[in-house]
Amino acid sequence: MRKGVCSAIIGSVLLFCGVTTAQADDWMAPEPFEVVSGDGSMVFRFSPDDPFGGGQADAGVYRVGEVEELVYAVQELRSWAYPQNFFFSEDFRSFVFVPSPTQEVALEFFTDGVVVKTYRVNDLVKNRSKLTHSTSSVWWTQSVSAIPGEDTLMVTTVDGRTYSFDIATGSITEKSRDPSASRAWPYVILGAVAVGAVVLLLAALRVLPGSRRRRPGS
């Protein structure tokens, strides 16, 4: 009986935690868009292959002029994307695609329309307990930004790791970790040890002779 009650309580707690931590997803269907380079000489054009963003997109970079010229077509680019998912090099020959968090793929680096480097979430986030889950998504970043004029992408993950990437090659040029992300672990361990010591002490007091209250008249 007691075991069944405990199981019911644990199940209720897990269900409550799952309901309260899950977030609802409300994604807008992708639409065609374009991104113009800083000097106005290049334009990236993106068009999803269907209103629901499935399959591969029709995308390419064009040189702006009296007669527009295709510089390169992008191969194997996911159709579910928005302008904020792209970070370009200064010359627009390379870019980083950050897929929506419904994907386990974290970053894709393209040069002249071809993927040259791919990172998955597991490659960048080492402590998966820090990930935030929704009904269909996994949120793994704190921030993603490009450094103007340096062709560098800066990414900070939810577990406090910061990476610098070369946009042209996808290689990691620098990485660091927020000390506060690991600083709490000694306190967690000490707290667990302290709780364990208290539990053992209480258990010992219950079995020691004379530790139980005597009944009146005994």
pTM to 2 decimal places: 0.70
- Give the per-residue pLDDT at 123: 95
What is the per-residue pLDDT across 186-217, written as a single tens digit (0 to 9) for each?
Answer: 443 344 445 555 555 555 555 555 545 455 55
- pLDDT at residue 159 tops 80: yes
- What size, in residues, is the chain? 218
Angle at 53 between CA 49 and CA 59, to 5 degrees: 50
Domains of the chain: residue spans and CATH: 33-180 (2.40.128)
Angstrom distance (rounded) from CA 175 to CA 35: 29
